[in-house]
Chain A
């Protein structure tokens, strides 16, 4: 076992733990409470209603 591998493994573990801890924090803090409205909101940002589905057959 050389020093590098120990260093790298602890680095990897540290990274993984950071991810898990920040995920748990985000979960508890309510960061993911509303996963619906953002997806719907973007549908209403435009006044143009003439989407392609309204167009008529040409030529």
Chain B
């Protein structure tokens, strides 16, 4: 520590709250308070996300964990877990890192402290809102975009606040040259805005419920364009930005290759946006879109590994220190998991691999390698690095960091390996056909039973990861308690614009040019993939007629969405031999053309339901919904007893059908006008039938009737 630094520290300590306020106006100190807030929020929500995940994992091994409370059944808990992990945990981690590093990279305080605060509290409010509405079953039924329209509007507003704050900071930066981390942040801010708005467009029919404007195949395409790019631009680009800043800082060495980072950035943002359709291989999505999705996913291999290599080689010459620096281990393992996930992703995007892996636990293993390994470990590394700086303290215990690392690593490996084996097992069992052309395992439940031990291993892996996380909380709390918050860190060099070569570079020197070009890069793939399907009826054979769902069936469909059935059941049969044998004819574009939202699903914890209608009598469904074990003793499905106790809300049906008609579903005036009466009449028929079969409970007007009506209508509306 030289004299200048000693002086500075003295001054820092002398600074009072008043001085800080002055500093704010003069823009001579960084806003550290906002970074501290985001870090605390990251840790708090991380706990919620991880525990919700463990709870969900336990529900799969032991179904009674679904409890008899509807709010905690798997179909509602799983969206809560994914939203908490992505938007609450990773989201707050991203914001902490962006607010901290952006100010330093641009040598200026954030544009507005007020906007920073609105961003922080707005985001936490959104999370709380999500944590209330998702258990209540208020969902749009689209993965990772479940939140209903009022929350979607809030997200948009808060994101605009963030964007204003971020671009305002860019506008008044003292460092003309924008470092690579900033490029990744720019891409994140603009792309998430585009994705969120396009995917969330919906028409409300009540205060908390709406139907998406996108239909069937079109909805699937838009949803996975969004879904995959939520992975790309929420869980990848911002974390890459953090990687490009924090790894050089932690190691105290420049990034391995700045040249590589330029190629990495542009190739990644341009290619990523096309990859969405790899979630829909072999579905009724048009072939050209599937091929584009597959080809671009395979191409992603190169830039992804370029980024990983760039990060790992930054440790060049310092590897021996990894032994004694547990925090470094988090970054190295994080990057390694990024490498594993981005190797596996392109692999799974190859059509023939997808034929085996899609709908299985393999995908769950894959995403957790990315989420726990890449996002989790990078966030933990960043927190361990930032907390001592921001609270002026030494890290309480390096030993605890070391233990956290190993517990976490073993946890992820158990999780990943067990799910990989489970997924391949499922895939092979579903596909097994004997020499007579018959399914070897015709009963779906056989594949469920065979992977139960692996579900246990997964839960154990998750639990270990959580134990490690708790060690981190203890360590961080003790560090914070030992430290003290003094004034904000002063900005080291207040001289503006020190571009050495005189002329700033076009891309890295001008924020507007850079932003516009990034936007163009992500819009090319977006437009080419989505534009042709805007008129979805071009893909529909006009000779094939499809009847829309009756009022009661539509009501049942909304219950299907509310309970999150799509989380475990697909409604999309692929043109593969085993699926034809097991489920029937492949799904067509026409069949889901009136579906708002589409419910193709992405996972088969239970069997596909696309042709479920009329396979079993109403009474079977009644028993099965009440307690699946009555019909299938080994089933792990939750019991949906509340469907028998709650009444159908007939008051909304007219509004619902009217909104759907406006979206292009061919309901007649008559059907809309009499929607409630029609629904009541159909419900009565089903109820009478059930009574005849020996149901003694009071079931008149209960939700179970609508659910049965919908399940019996699946695959029965024409379109083949």
Contact = CB atoms under 8 A, between A and B. Distances in A.
Contacts of B394: 50, 55-56, 58
Contact of A55 (B1, B398, B492): B398
Contact of A31 (B1, B179, B506): B506
Nearest to B179: A42
B400 A59 contact: yes
Contacts of B250: 51-52
Given A52-B384, A52-B385, A33 B501 contact: yes
Q: Which of A15, A45, A46: most chain B Cβ within 10 A?
A: A45
Interface of B: 1, 5, 8, 104-105, 107, 175, 177, 179-181, 245, 248-250, 252-255, 257-259, 262, 321, 325, 327, 384-385, 388-389, 394-400, 489-490, 492, 500-501, 505-508, 524, 528
Interface in A19-59: 26, 29, 31-53, 55-59
A47 B490 contact: yes
B249 A43 contact: yes
Secondary structure at the B interface, as helix, strand, loop or mixed, is helix
Contact of A42 (B248, B327, B501, B507): B248
A35 B259 contact: yes
B306 to A, nearest CB: 15
Given A33-B501, A50-B389, A52-B395, A38 B179 contact: yes
B492 A38 contact: no
Nearest to B532: A4
Given A46-B492, A47-B5, A58-B397, A34 B501 contact: yes
A49 B252 CA distance: 10
16 contacts: A26-B507, A35-B258, A35-B262, A37-B500, A38-B177, A38-B179, A42-B104, A42-B181, A43-B248, A43-B249, A45-B104, A51-B249, A55-B395, A55-B398, A58-B396, A58-B399
A32 to B, nearest CB: 7
A41 B321 CA distance: 23
Given A42-B105, A52-B384, A59 B489 contact: no
A45 B254 CA distance: 13
Contacts of A53: 252, 321, 325
Nearest to A45: B104
B388 A50 contact: yes
Given A52-B385, A52-B395, A55-B395, 10 more contacts: A26-B506, A34-B500, A37-B500, A41-B175, A42-B179, A42-B181, A47-B492, A49-B1, A51-B252, A57-B397
A47 B8 contact: yes
